[in-house]
Chains A and B, each alone.
Chain A
C-alpha cells in the first residue's frame, strides 16, 4: 500500500459551547489533509517511464507525485478538510469526492462530513478526461464510528486485514505527450493495466495470516470496466459503491462470488476467508488484461492486472522418508518440498512432477520463488536430474521455471565423492556466500584447523556461484560450542538442515539427524530449533535457543532433513 497522508487532528474547542450556555455536545473530530498535485513519473515492469500527474502529501513540502494518490483514512462523522495546497501540473486542478455529500469548496479547500462508512475514490474534477488518466486519483476510506475492525459497522463485515486495490490503466500515448490535452481520446488504447499503480510482476502480493478474514477494497479509477476473479478462494461481496449488502436487522444480502465486474468509477468491497495452509491465490483481471505493452516486449507476459492473495510460509522443508504431511495430498515423497504457515502445511514442489525419480531424496534446499528452488540430494552414488545426468550428493542444483542447472559443484570446492562429504544442509546468505553442513566430518582446503569441522558444524564458503564457483572456506558455526556434538542413537546432532535469518542480528535455524539437546533445549529430529542472536565463527555462541517448529505437536511425524526460511 502507498504511504498514507498525514492526519492533522484538530479538536474543536469545548469552551465556546459551555460558555455560551448551549447544550454540551461531544465535539465532532475533524481531520485535515494537505495534498499536492504534481507531475512525476512511474516506471513500468518493462522499464518504460511514463509521465503522470499525481497527488502526494504536503508535509511542509510536496512529496513526489505518487500513483495512486495517498490513501486518506477518516472516521464516520468526522469533518474532513482536504487542502490542495500546491498544483504544479500546469493547468487548474480541482478535487471531486464521489459519494460524499455536501462538499463545500472555498478556494482550494474542500470540506465535508464523512457521513457514511465505505470505500470511495477522490479524483480530479477539472478536465477529468485527461487528468484522471494522467493519474490524479486516490482512495478515501471511511471507517465506521466505533468499530474500526468492521467495514460497515456490522459484525458481518468484520475483517482482520485489509487491502486497497485501485484499478486503473495507462495509455503511454496519452501520458507521454508533452501536452496531454492534445491527445485524441477516441484513440485511447491502454497497454498497461495497474493495481495500485503497478503492473505485474511489480504488483504487491496481498498477504493474509492463516485463518484470517481479508477485506478487499476495489476502486476502479480507470476508464474501462474491469472484471476481477479470485482463484482457489471465494470472495464475499459486501458492498457496492459503499452501499452495504449487509444491514442488520435486514437479511444478509451479500454475495459469495468468484468473478466481479467493477465498472469505471465504482467501488466494491469483498471479504475473503484466508485458509490455514500456506498458499498463493491469483487475483486477476479475467478479461485477461495480464500483459505489459506488446508481445515484442520481454516483460509482456505475465503482466498487467494480476496479484496474489498469499498466506505466507513461515518455513519450507523436506522430509527424510516419504512421510505423511497432514492436510497435503498423497503420495508423499522425500523429493517434495513442503511449506508450513504456522497453522498448517502445503506442498510447494512435487519432485517427480519436475522430473526427479521416486528414488531421489532432497537433503538440503532453498526456496527462492514459487518456481525457483535450489536443492541437494542424499544419494552417494548420484541422483539423476533432467538434462544434468548424474548429480553428486555434494553438489547443489537449481531448478528455475523448468530449467535445471548446476549451481554449486562440490568437487570443485574440495568436497569429495564419499558419503561423508554429502552436503546435507545449505543456505545462501544475503551476500551470495554459501553455508554448508556435511553428512560426516569434511576436509576442505584452506580451512584453519583446529578445530576440525564436524557434521554438526556449518562451513562458510565465500565465493560467487555458479561461476567462478570457488570457495574461501571458514568455520561459521561450531556445533559443539553450543552443545550439539553427540552421535549416540537416538541422539544425533549432525545438522541436516539450516537457514539463517539476518533480519535483526543473526538467527540460525537448524534441524538435526536425530534427537538433540543443547544446554537449554532438547527436541526431535523433525523439530526446528533456533540459535537466537548468534555469534558465528570458531567461537560460536547463541544468546538463547528456541523451538521454531515442534513437528509432532503439529501432527507431523518422521524426520525433517532440509529446511529454508522464506
Chain B
C-alpha cells in the first residue's frame, strides 16, 4: 500500500530555529482568516461536454493591496469575469465542443489544448497555432474527443507570450469513464471525491499588464515577476474559500484539506499500514503550471505520491497499478511551464501523539518563549492534532479544532512574496483535520 510518511509532530509548535519565520503582514493574514477558520476549496467544475466561452477583461486583487489588469475566458451565459478561467470538466470518451466568442479583447484570440490530439476547428481564421477569432460577434469552435482522463491546461494560442501572461489560461479535467472517484482508469487511483484540489500556478509581471491596460509597448523580454498565483490568488488569499466575497474576480481558493488517516491497527507506530475504507482514501491534488517559468513546488513537511504527468499515469514494474506504479514520493516537484501532475496525499497518523498517552519527544516551549509575528496565527496552541491550548496573550488564532497546518509553496523563495512583501506569492496551506473533520 502507500507509504506516505506522516508528520511526526505538528509544525508551528516547534520548528528548528531559523527554518521558518512568519513574515506576513498582519492585515493581509488577518483579513485572509477573518473571524472564521478557512474551509476547504474543492475543485469547482463547469461541466461539459459543450462549453460556451467568451473573453473578458478585469482586475484581480493582490494581498498587498494592488490590483492587476487581466484578460481571461469566462462562461458565456451571464457569468462574471474571473481568473483563472473556468475549470472545464468532462468525462473520458465525450466529444468536447468549445465555442469561443471574442467580445472583450482588442485583438484576435484562440484556445489551444496541450495534451489533446485530433483537435479540429470550425470557423475562425488561420492562426499561427490554431484557428483564431477576432474581436466581434463571430464564433470559433474547437472539437475533440477526450480520449484519456487527466489534468490538462487550455490556453490562448494567439500571441501566447502576451495572452497567456495576461490570464487566458485554465484547466480541463477529464474524468475516467469507468468511475468518477478515480483519477485514472486504474483502481489504485481511487480518491476521496470530497477532497479533490487544483493548484493552478501562474506568474505575473504587473508592469506588463499595465502596458496592456494602457496600450503601451508590450516587451516580454523584460518580464520580471512580482506576483505569483495559485488559482488566480496570491498567499494568503489562497487560503480563503471558493467564492469569497472579498475576491469576486478570483473565485477559486487553494487550501488543501484532508482528514487524518489512522493506522489500520492502532498503536502500530511508524510505517504502519494505514486504515482503509472509503473514508480513508487519499486526497487528489492536481498541479498545473500555466506560468511562463518553471516552478519548484514544495509541499512542506509532506511527501506526495506523484501518479501522473501531463495526463498520463506513470508506468512502472508490472505496467500499471499502485503499488505497481513506480510513482514517486516527492517533497518538491518542479512543475515545468505547461506541465501538469496528479498527486495523491494522505496524512497518516503513525505516531498517534497524545498529550497523556504518547507525548511528543521534545520540550514544548513555554508561552513566554513563543513569538508570533504580528500576533496572528493558525496554530492551535497545542502540538497535538485535535487539541487546542493556550497562546500568548494578544495573539489571535483562527484555529478551528486543533487542526494542523503546513505551508505548501514554491521553493524558489524569491516567489514567496507579494511584490517583495514577505510571506506571500506562490503558496497555500495544507490543513490536516482530526478524524471526522472539524465540526
Q: Chain A interface (Cβ within 8 Å of chain B)?
A: 191, 225, 227, 229, 231-234, 250-261, 275, 282, 286-288, 290-291, 294-296, 301-302, 328-331, 347-350, 352-354, 370-371, 402
Measured in the bound complex, the distance between the Cα atoms of B127 and A520 in whole Å is 43
CB-CB under 8 A from B312, the residues of chain A are 255-257
In the complex the two chains form, is B310's CB within 8 Å of A350's CB?
A: no
Residue among B140, B294, B316 with the most chain A CB within 10 A?
A: B294
Chain B, 20-68, CB within 8 A of any chain A CB: none
CB-CB under 8 A from A260, the residues of chain B are 336
In the complex the two chains form, is B310's CB within 8 Å of A257's CB?
A: yes
Nearest first, the 8 closest Cβ-Cβ pairs linking A and B are A259-B338, A286-B338, A288-B161, A329-B120, A261-B336, A353-B123, A258-B310, A371-B126
30 pairs of residues in contact across A and B, judged by CB atoms under 8 Å: A191-B221, A227-B336, A229-B114, A231-B130, A232-B112, A232-B117, A233-B117, A234-B310, A251-B319, A255-B309, A256-B310, A256-B312, A257-B312, A259-B114, A259-B337, A259-B338, A288-B160, A288-B220, A290-B161, A295-B221, A296-B217, A328-B120, A350-B121, A350-B125, A353-B122, A353-B125, A353-B140, A354-B126, A371-B125, A371-B126
**CB of B181 within 8 Å of the partner chain:** no
Chain B, 112-159, CB within 8 A of any chain A CB: 112, 114-131, 134, 138, 140, 143, 157, 159
Known pairs A254-B315, A255-B309, A329-B121; list 5 more (Cβ under 8 Å): A231-B130, A257-B309, A258-B339, A286-B292, A347-B121
User: Which residue of A has the minimal Cβ distance to B125?
Assistant: A354
**CB of B165 within 8 Å of the partner chain:** yes
In the complex the two chains form, is A287's CB within 8 Å of B217's CB?
A: no
In the complex the two chains form, is A255's CB within 8 Å of B314's CB?
A: yes
Kindly provide the distance from the CB of A273 to the nearest chain B CB, expressed in whole angstroms: 9
CB-CB under 8 A for A329 and B115, given A229-B338, A290-B160: no
Measured in the bound complex, the distance between the Cα atoms of B258 and A300 in whole Å is 48
In the complex the two chains form, is A282's CB within 8 Å of B129's CB?
A: yes
User: Which residue of A has the minimal Cβ distance to B159?
Assistant: A301
CB-CB under 8 A from A252, the residues of chain B are 315, 319
Kindly provide the distance from the CB of A397 to the nearest chain B CB, expressed in whole angstroms: 15
**CB of B210 within 8 Å of the partner chain:** no
Kindly provide the distance from the CB of A266 to the nearest chain B CB, expressed in whole angstroms: 13
In the complex the two chains form, is A251's CB within 8 Å of B131's CB?
A: no
CB-CB under 8 A from B140, the residues of chain A are 353
Tally B residues with Cβ within 8 Å of A.
Answer: 54
Measured in the bound complex, the distance between the Cα atoms of B211 and A295 in whole Å is 13
**CB of B436 within 8 Å of the partner chain:** no
Measured in the bound complex, the distance between the Cα atoms of B114 and A191 in whole Å is 26
Q: Chain B interface (Cβ within 8 Å of chain A)?
A: 112, 114-131, 134, 138, 140, 143, 157, 159-161, 164-165, 217-221, 292-294, 309-312, 314-319, 326, 334, 336-340
Measured in the bound complex, the distance between the Cα atoms of B319 and A254 in whole Å is 11
CB-CB under 8 A from B338, the residues of chain A are 227, 229, 258-259, 286
Measured in the bound complex, the distance between the Cα atoms of B336 and A184 in whole Å is 29
In the complex the two chains form, is A253's CB within 8 Å of B316's CB?
A: yes
CB-CB under 8 A from A232, the residues of chain B are 112, 116-117, 119
CB-CB under 8 A from B310, the residues of chain A are 234, 255-259
Measured in the bound complex, the distance between the Cα atoms of B309 and A560 in whole Å is 45
Kindly provide the distance from the CB of A121 to the nearest chain B CB, expressed in whole angstroms: 21
Kindly provide the distance from the CB of B164 to the nearest chain A CB, expressed in whole angstroms: 7
Q: Name the contact of A227 in the complex, choosing from B127, B138, B157, B294 (C-beta under 8 A).
A: B294
Measured in the bound complex, the distance between the Cα atoms of B124 and A353 in whole Å is 4
In the complex the two chains form, is B125's CB within 8 Å of A253's CB?
A: no
In the complex the two chains form, is A225's CB within 8 Å of B121's CB?
A: no
User: Which residue of A has the minimal Cβ distance to B126?
Assistant: A371
In the complex the two chains form, is A291's CB within 8 Å of B319's CB?
A: no
In the complex the two chains form, is B131's CB within 8 Å of A291's CB?
A: no
Measured in the bound complex, the distance between the Cα atoms of B116 and A290 in whole Å is 22
CB-CB under 8 A from A370, the residues of chain B are 126, 128
CB-CB under 8 A from B339, the residues of chain A are 227, 257-259, 261
User: Which residue of B has the minimal Cβ distance to A354?
Assistant: B125
CB-CB under 8 A from B125, the residues of chain A are 350, 353-354, 371, 402
CB-CB under 8 A from B114, the residues of chain A are 229, 231, 258-259
Measured in the bound complex, the distance between the Cα atoms of B247 and A19 in whole Å is 88
Measured in the bound complex, the distance between the Cα atoms of B117 and A275 in whole Å is 9
In the complex the two chains form, is A287's CB within 8 Å of B319's CB?
A: no
In the complex the two chains form, is A227's CB within 8 Å of B143's CB?
A: no
